[in-house]
């Protein structure tokens, strides 16, 4: 606060002298320069260790979470072993020991994320291309902001909206149409088999797709912006159409970054809980049709954790551990790809 | 100046917070079942006005409530699924029923209004087993000869979250159907043969309201307040009953509470001509040797007050007060078993 006026006035002194005086002025004047420098070294070191401790804290937390998940899941791992991954039954009420298998939620997690990606990736990339290549300048900002706002909506809102508005719409207008169009065709007929349902794997996937759309769009748009204008202009100069520029210049140049964005979105889709729990129907049975209810790992945990105990709770811990490992690898892959892009850009 | 003012207001806020904290220390803490939450909240409100002592009740679910009382983080736990007498003895807990409620089946079929349709236990079990698949099934038509039932598939809705409501419902289905008992059984979360799961009473109600030709189950209080299309039920004597206070209390009156250790009675499928078949009490758990005997005293005072003055409030919310004879027994249990100051 009160800077010493005399320290600033010293002429001919080097920077460290000024610093020493500035620091020492409030206290008794320090004659010994070496001692003052030592003080700096000490504060530097303290700062270094403080920041380092914060960083280590995060790692410890991460390790602690994994450890507590493993400890919680241990009874289930011992009791069910690998058969947990292949059993479809989920019967927590059985006496003396429940039969619990994670296949239903694992299947539901993969399928809902897959369908969500199938919808969100093309649409998200389309929006990003439109925003960077085709959109009139004055529209870019409002459009981009609107997309980013989608990412800020809390997932419970998506859940409510999905439950009350989107799911009935899909069940009344979209599903019957798909069922009619595919009935009789061997494999598709059973994947899209009726009757239409308000709470279903498909409806949950559509909500998921909308939720992850902004991630894909925002990241793709940012990496599309990194394409050097020279490259694009040369291509246009050679007579390329916009499609050809996007296809042959923009996408190849940013491929890794786009994949990184997609993986981040996938990570969110795998772990999304509230919105999915509202709409997916929470049935542990695996059924052929995606219009029938299913469940995901996170939905199963959210639904049953409060009232669980013993092996049932341990099995939910095990599901949590599986999800943790799964999303960890997906996000690690995403980071790796984004890092590679950064390096390529730097080179 | 500004800083000064800021500090002063911060100081005031701090004192206010401390004052409210010390008031909160007077509060009775409890956690557990969501089903009786509305009536506990109503009682707590009236009790606070009368005595100045508040109730801090977290409706986090029966299972969680049991965990909390075992961990001694609360003065009382509340559960819809009563504990076994052996477990009570092992953990040093006392259990008693505080208030009762009932479940009803709700439907959404075009043209069918509240209280028009009739089910019996066997039919409900077969619907939830997936054996009866359409609304014009002979078993349903036989019970409802005057209704026009569609040839549409039945959309079965159930709870997805573990809940005491599900415990009571599956307990009833186990009572009335051998097949349900052997294939599924009862519990707060079970392996459902068919149907979609929705969260909470409101989730089930919302889903039934949205889905044509659907059936679900909710607490009667909830069904009545939300004006849902609830149905009539045939009890074990063959009487077709309407869900109301009279039939709920008949179920409680016919139960032999004094013979049940830990008051562990589930009032489903009770004898008696007027007994509504899916009635259930919700229970309170307390330690015999509480860590804080003063807090335990305060909690018991509250429950005694609720037994004495809470009946009218329970009626308003369509809960059923415990019969006086049972209350007498419970007070005896308190005096004998719980060490309070």
Is A304's CB within 8 Å of B62's CB?
Answer: no
Per residue in B204-242, pLDDT tens? 988 898 888 999 999 898 888 888 899 999 998 889 999
**What residues of chain B, 266 to 325, have a C-beta less than 8 Å from chain A?**
none
Nearest CA in chain B to A88: B191
Q: What angle do CA B222, B225, B226 make, to 5 degrees?
A: 80
Contacts of A90 in chain B (CB under 8 A): 191
CATH code: domain of residue A222: 1.10.3720.10
- Our CA-based measurement puts residue B210 at a distance from the nearest CA of chain A, in whole angstroms, of 7
Contacts of A199 in chain B (CB under 8 A): 196-198, 207
B147 touches chain A (CB under 8 A): no
SS3 B172: helix
| Statement to judge: residues A71 and A106 lie in one domain | no
Per-residue pLDDT, averaged over B287-306, amounts to 92
Expressed in angstroms, the distance from the first to the final Cα of chain A is 44
Residues (pLDDT < 70) of chain A are: 1-31, 345-347
Q: Which residues contact B256 (CB under 8 A, 6 or more apart)?
A: B265
* Residue bearing tokens 């559509």: A206
Residue pair A194/A176 in contact (Cβ under 8 Å)? The answer is: yes
SS3 A184: coil
Do you know the residue count of chain B? 341
A307 touches chain B (CB under 8 A): yes
Which of B151, B154, B155, B198 would best serve as a mutation to test chain A binding (most A beta carbons within 10 A)? B198
Answer yes or no: is A3 within a domain.
no
| Statement to judge: residues A135 and A23 lie in one domain | no
Is B162's CB within 8 Å of A304's CB?
Answer: yes
Q: Which of A81, A101, A134 is the last residue of a domain?
A: A81
Helix axes A310-346, A251-271, angle to 10 degrees: 160
Domain count, chain A: 2
| Run of H or E residues at B305 | helix B293-309
Q: Compare CB distances from A93 to B63, B187, B207 and report the shortest one's residue.
A: B187
Under the banding of pLDDT at 50, 70 and 90, the label for residue B250 is confident
| Statement to judge: residues A124 and A259 lie in one domain | yes
| Statement to judge: residues A179 and A274 lie in one domain | yes
Distance from chain centroid for Cα A124: 15
Q: Compare CB distances from A304 to B189, B192, B211 and report the shortest one's residue.
A: B189
Q: Which residues contact A237 (CB under 8 A, 6 or more apart)?
A: none
Q: Compare CB distances from B63 to A199, A299, A306 and report the shortest one's residue.
A: A306
- Our CA-based measurement puts residue A47 at a distance from the nearest CA of chain B, in whole angstroms, of 29
Nearest CA in chain A to B188: A307
A287 touches chain B (CB under 8 A): no
Q: Compare CB distances from B210 to A94, A168, A309 and report the shortest one's residue.
A: A168
What's the rounded Cα separation, in Å, for the pair B209 and B193?
22
SS3 B286: strand
| Statement to judge: residues A56 and A143 lie in one domain | no
Longest Cα–Cα distance in chain B: 84
Answer yes or no: is A2 within a domain.
no
What's the rounded Cα separation, in Å, for the pair A212 and A201?
16
Is A198's CB within 8 Å of B210's CB?
Answer: yes
Cis peptide before B191 (omega within 30 of 0): no
Q: Give the torsion sign (CA, B227, B230, B235, B238).
A: positive
A105 touches chain B (CB under 8 A): no
Averaged pLDDT of chain B: 87
B191 touches chain A (CB under 8 A): yes
SS3 B40: helix
SS3 A44: helix
B62 touches chain A (CB under 8 A): yes
Is B187's CB within 8 Å of A90's CB?
Answer: no
Answer yes or no: is A257 within a domain.
yes
Nearest CA in chain B to A101: B191
Per residue in A76-129, pLDDT tens? 999 999 999 998 889 888 877 889 999 999 999 999 999 999 999 999 999 999
What's the rounded Cα separation, in Å, for the pair B102 and B318?
9
| Statement to judge: residues A99 and A69 lie in one domain | no
Percent of chain B predicted with pLDDT > 70: 93
Per residue in B51-80, pLDDT tens? 999 999 998 878 888 889 999 999 999 998
**CA distances to A198, B266, B312 from B42, in Å:** 35, 25, 11
Is A93's CB within 8 Å of B192's CB?
Answer: no
Is A307's CB within 8 Å of B184's CB?
Answer: no
Instruction: Quote the pLDDT of residue A241.
Output: 92
Is B210's CB within 8 Å of A195's CB?
Answer: no
Instruction: Quote the pLDDT of residue A199.
Output: 87
State the ipTM, two decimals. 0.76
Do the bridges between strand B196-198 and strand B155-159 make them parallel or antiparallel, or are there none, so unpaired? parallel
A108 touches chain B (CB under 8 A): no
What DSSP string runs through A282-325?
---S--S-TTS-B--HHHHHHHHSTT--HHHHHHHHHHHHHHHH
Instruction: Quote the pLDDT of residue A2.
Output: 44
**What residues of chain A, 159 to 218, have a C-beta less than 8 Å from chain B?**
163-164, 167-168, 195, 197-200
Q: Which of A35, A60, A81 is the last residue of a domain?
A: A81
Rg of chain A (C-alpha set): 28
Instruction: Quote the pLDDT of residue B325.
Output: 84
Contacts of A277 in chain B (CB under 8 A): 160, 199
| Statement to judge: residues A140 and A166 lie in one domain | yes
- Our CA-based measurement puts residue B167 at a distance from the nearest CA of chain A, in whole angstroms, of 10
Contacts of A307 in chain B (CB under 8 A): 61-64, 161-163, 188-189
| Statement to judge: residues A309 and A211 lie in one domain | yes
SS3 B95: strand
What's the rounded Cα separation, in Å, for the pair B191 and B189?
7
Answer yes or no: is A9 within a domain.
no
Per residue in B164-210, pLDDT tens? 889 999 999 999 999 999 999 988 889 999 999 988 888 898 889 88
- The token pair at A194 is 């009726």
Is B162's CB within 8 Å of A95's CB?
Answer: no
Structure-model confidence comparison of residues B335 and B341, the more confident one: B335
Is B196's CB within 8 Å of A197's CB?
Answer: yes
Nearest CA in chain B to A303: B161
Nearest CA in chain B to A199: B196
Instruction: Quote the pLDDT of residue A330.
Output: 85
Alpha-helical regions (H) of chain A: 5-9, 15-24, 33-80, 103-129, 137-152, 155-161, 167-169, 175-182, 186-191, 201-225, 229-237, 242-245, 251-271, 274-279, 297-304, 310-346
| Statement to judge: residues A100 and A135 lie in one domain | yes
Which structural domain range is residue A47 located in? 14-81
What DSSP string runs through A239-252?
T--HHHHIIIIIHH
φ/ψ of residue A217, rounded to 5: -65, -50
Which of A307, A308, A309, A315 would best serve as a mutation to test chain B binding (most B beta carbons within 10 A)? A307
Q: Which is nearest to B105 in space by CA: B26, B27, B190, B204?
A: B204
Q: Which residues contact A323 (CB under 8 A, 6 or more apart)?
A: A109, A270, A271, A297, A298
Answer yes or no: is A5 within a domain.
no
Is A277's CB within 8 Å of B160's CB?
Answer: yes
Is A281's CB within 8 Å of B196's CB?
Answer: yes
Per residue in B106-116, pLDDT tens? 999 999 999 99
Which pTM value belongs to this model?
Answer: 0.80
Q: Compare CB distances from A306 to B60, B195, B196 and report the shortest one's residue.
A: B60
Under the banding of pLDDT at 50, 70 and 90, the label for residue B1 is very low
Instruction: Quote the pLDDT of residue A54.
Output: 94
What's the rounded Cα separation, in Å, for the pair B228 and A321?
41
| Statement to judge: residues A282 and A217 lie in one domain | yes
**CA distances to A324, A330, B4 from A259, in Å:** 21, 11, 55
- Our CA-based measurement puts residue B194 at a distance from the nearest CA of chain A, in whole angstroms, of 8
Is B63's CB within 8 Å of A164's CB?
Answer: no
Instruction: Quote the pLDDT of residue B54.
Output: 92
| Statement to judge: residues A272 and A306 lie in one domain | yes
Instruction: Quote the pLDDT of residue B19.
Output: 47
Is residue B162 over pLDDT 50?
A: yes
Answer yes or no: is A70 within a domain.
yes
Is residue B10 over pLDDT 80?
A: no
Answer yes or no: is A175 within a domain.
yes
Residue B205's Cβ-side half-sphere holds a number of Cα atoms within 13 Å equal to 18
Per-residue pLDDT, averaged over B139-166, amounts to 91
Instruction: Quote the pLDDT of residue B22.
Output: 47
Q: Compare CB distances from A92 to B163, B189, B198 and report the shortest one's residue.
A: B189
Q: Which of A30, A60, A81 is the last residue of a domain?
A: A81
Q: Compare CB distances from B63 to A198, A199, A307 and report the shortest one's residue.
A: A307
| Statement to judge: residues A63 and A172 lie in one domain | no
Strand ranges in chain B using DSSP code E only, listed in sequence order: 28-32, 55-58, 76-79, 93-108, 118-120, 155-159, 196-198, 214-219, 232-234, 240-241, 279-287, 320-321
Answer yes or no: is A1 within a domain.
no
Which of B173, B197, B216 would best serve as a mutation to test chain A binding (most A beta carbons within 10 A)? B197
B130 touches chain A (CB under 8 A): no
* Residue bearing tokens 């003012």: B5
Per residue in B18-57, pLDDT tens? 444 444 557 899 998 888 888 999 999 999 999 999 999 9
Do the bridges between strand B320-321 and strand B93-108 make them parallel or antiparallel, or are there none, so unpaired? antiparallel
């Amino acid at each position: 606060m009160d800077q010493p006026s005399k320290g600033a006035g010293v002429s001919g002194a080097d920077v460290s002298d000024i610093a020493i005086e500035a620091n020492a002025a409030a206290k008794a004047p320090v004659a010994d320069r070496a001692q003052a420098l030592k003080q700096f070294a000490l504060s530097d070191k303290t700062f270094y260790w403080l920041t380092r401790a914060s960083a280590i804290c995060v790692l410890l937390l991460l390790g602690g979470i994994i450890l507590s998940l493993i400890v919680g899941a241990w009874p289930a791992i011992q009791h069910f072993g690998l058969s947990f991954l292949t059993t479809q039954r989920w019967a927590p009420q059985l006496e003396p020991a429940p039969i619990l298998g994670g296949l239903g939620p694992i299947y539901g997690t993969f399928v809902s994320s897959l369908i969500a990606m199938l919808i969100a990736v093309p649409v998200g990339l389309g929006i990003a291309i439109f925003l960077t290549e085709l959109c009139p300048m004055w529209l870019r900002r409002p459009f981009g902001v609107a997309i980013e706002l989608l990412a800020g909506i809390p997932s419970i809102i998506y859940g409510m909206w999905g439950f009350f508005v989107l799911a009935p719409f899909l069940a009344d207008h979209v599903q019957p149409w798909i069922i009619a169009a595919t009935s009789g065709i061997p494999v598709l007929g059973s994947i899209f088999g009726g009757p239409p349902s308000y709470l279903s794997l498909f409806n949950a996937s559509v909500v998921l797709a909308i939720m992850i759309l902004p991630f894909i769009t925002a990241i793709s748009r940012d990496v599309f912006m990194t394409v050097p204008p020279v490259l694009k202009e040369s291509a246009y100069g050679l007579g390329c159409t916009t499609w050809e520029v996007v296809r042959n210049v923009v996408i190849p140049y940013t491929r890794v970054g786009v994949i990184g964005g997609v993986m981040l979105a996938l990570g969110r889709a795998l772990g999304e809980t509230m919105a999915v729990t509202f709409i997916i129907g929470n049935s542990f049975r695996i059924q052929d049709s995606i219009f029938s209810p299913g469940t995901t790992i996170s939905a199963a945990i959210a639904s049953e954790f409060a009232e669980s105990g013993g092996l049932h709770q341990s099995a939910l811990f095990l599901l949590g551990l599986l999800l943790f490992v799964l999303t960890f690898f997906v996000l690690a892959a995403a980071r790796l790809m984004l890092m590679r892009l950064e390096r390529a850009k730097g080179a | 100046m500004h800083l000064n003012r800021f500090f002063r207001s911060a100081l005031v806020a701090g004192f206010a917070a401390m004052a409210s904290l010390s008031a909160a220390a007077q509060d009775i803490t409890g956690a557990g079942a969501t089903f009786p939450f509305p009536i506990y909240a109503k009682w707590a409100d009236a009790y606070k006005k009368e005595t100045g002592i508040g109730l801090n009740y977290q409706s986090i679910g029966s299972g969680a409530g049991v965990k909390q009382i075992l961990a001694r983080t609360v003065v009382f736990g509340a559960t819809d699924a009563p504990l076994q007498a052996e477990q009570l003895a092992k953990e040093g807990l006392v259990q008693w029923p505080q208030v009762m409620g009932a479940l009803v089946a709700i439907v959404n079929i075009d043209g069918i209004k509240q209280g028009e349709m009739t089910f019996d236990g066997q039919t409900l079990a077969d619907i939830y087993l997936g054996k009866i698949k359409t609304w014009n099934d002979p078993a349903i038509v036989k019970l409802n000869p005057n209704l026009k039932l569609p040839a549409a598939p039945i959309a079965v809705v159930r709870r997805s979250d573990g809940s005491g409501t599900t415990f009571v419902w599956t307990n009833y289905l186990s009572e009335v159907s051998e097949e349900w008992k052997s294939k599924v059984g009862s519990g707060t979360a079970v392996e459902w043969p068919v149907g979609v799961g929705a969260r909470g009473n409101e989730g089930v109600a919302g889903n039934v309201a949205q889905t044509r030709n659907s059936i679900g189950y909710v607490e009667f209080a909830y069904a009545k307040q939300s004006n849902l299309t609830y149905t009539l039920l045939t009890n074990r004597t063959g009487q077709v009953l309407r869900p109301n206070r009279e039939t709920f209390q008949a179920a409680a009156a016919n139960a032999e509470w004094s013979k049940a250790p830990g008051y562990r009675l589930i009032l489903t499928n009770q004898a008696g001509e007027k007994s509504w078949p899916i009635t259930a009490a919700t229970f309170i758990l307390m330690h015999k040797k509480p860590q804080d005997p003063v807090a335990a005293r305060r909690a018991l005072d509250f429950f005694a007050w609720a037994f004495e003055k809470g009946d009218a409030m329970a009626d308003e919310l369509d809960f059923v007060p415990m019969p006086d004879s049972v209350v007498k027994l419970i007070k005896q249990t308190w005096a004998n078993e719980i060490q309070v100051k």
